[in-house]
Structure 1
Amino acid sequence: MGHEQNQGVALLQMLPLLWLLPHSWAVPEAPTPVWRDDLRNHTFLHTVYCQDGSPSVGLSEAYDEDQLFFFDFSQNTRVPRLPEFADWAQEQGDAPAILFDKEFCESMIQQIGPQLDGKIPVSRGFPITEVFTLKPLEFGKPNTLVCFVSNLFPPMLTVNWQHHSIPVEGFGPTFVSAVDGLSFQAFSYLNVTPEPSDIFSCIVTHEIDGYTAIAYWVPRNALPSDLLENVLCGVAFGLGVLGIIVGIVLIIYFRKPCSGDRDHGETPSLLKIQKISWAWWWAPVVPATRRG
């Protein structure tokens, strides 16, 4: 009974804070017109989260689970995940609302968090990591390695890169975004110029429990280089010319009459036809052999 009362007291303390939510959150969703039932639904996620770890607060915006931006609270500005989204990140008209959400989330952590500590189950997700290239692999040409982290909860992680087991510096920030199901995913990018002997590794550490996931990347399925393409084109062209020459020689050779055919005044093709006709004419009159 005492445990239920404690939970009730914690929930009652949350009610005054709910009035601080923006009024737009309480507006009911407009019904979808009938003529749009056959259209595909899309989802835009605007997720603000805060926690007692690092990062302490974050905001991610995603379209169909593809992250578009994250919010840099130190600069109060949006940061695009890819350069193609930079123009859309210039609009900062909702910055006051984002700062309000940040303060509201931090108030929830400070006032409600201690009341619910040890009374609700703690969820954990072990990060799953994979590394791939942003563009098709070509040796000697600049490319970008992407370290993708899924099944992340809570979003407290550290990402490091290594090249032949040696730490690499100069990689960009880690982008964390929310996905359906109250879990998170993260991206880290490293600019490289791939070589055939490269071995890169992405090391992800889940700070809340010390779990570490490592993903390795080695070059494979690379596109042919320009030199190899030129060599293959040259070989193919040479074989084509050789095939044309051989074809012309064979045509001239078979069109030239044989010496024995000149004496009889007939061409080899006519002689061949007569031989075939003779064999067909006499084949039916050959008597069958009886076995007694």
Structure 2
Amino acid sequence: MIQRSHQPSLGILNTQKAGEKFQLLRVPPSEDLSHFIKHYWIIHWDLTGQEPHQQDVVPNPCANLVVQSRRTAFYGVSSTRHSHHLEGKGQVFGVKFRPGGFHPFANIAMDRLTDSSIGTMEILQVEPHMLEEQLLTAEEPEHKVQRMEELFRRVRPDNDESIERINAIVDEIHRNRDILRVEQLSDGFRMSPRSLQRLFKSYVGVSPKWVIRLYRLQNAAEMLEGPDHQDMLKLAMDMGYYDQSHFIRDFKAVIGKTPEVYVKERSS
């Protein structure tokens, strides 16, 4: 089943403009791989005769396999916003792992892959150019996914209960906007703050505090997009910041621009 994406879902910024530049499909994994994989994603674009497009993507607590011409690799969590340069005609095939879902494949502490990558040979025993030849073609999306899942099944590790625990924690951070401190998670999940830190460092690559900050700043962006823009100082305090300058600095690191510029661009 192919699902066309309409939601940024911890990813694409300025979706209205983005939809004019490329098409994004998301495909759910087969049940036997859903413990590890969140979804497959496929991007197509044709900007022939048009100006190149720079697409901003906000961070999220997930590792990805990205199959792209001459850049194919497994990528750990990106700690800040990053941009993708699209020009001409092309496509990218990706695998988005659940938070913590790539750790059993890599079998290393995921903080070693934060803002970094690892080659496909080390995980799948397949050269990058072979994946590009097989997946960056005109084949139907279902065929691409089927080929990718065949490769993952060859190296599939055992299920790991820590992945389910991590996803429960991440889901709670996302759902409950009142969570501003790691101690709140510690109490709710009956884990010490130190145990939470160790778990996220090993399986995700970033701290639970980083994940809390990420979701709160995205919540702030949503509020700034509303018709009634909040007072900046009040918004910063609602997000758990004690000074406005710290809030602005973090907002820019994640969203890519200051709150003031963000509001002006949405209003123009």
TM-score, length-scaled by structure 1: 0.20
Instruction: Name the structure with the higher helix share.
Output: 2
Relative contact order (C-alpha < 8 Å, sep 6+): which is higher? Answer: 2
TM-score, length-scaled by structure 2: 0.22
Instruction: Name the structure with the higher strand share.
Output: 1
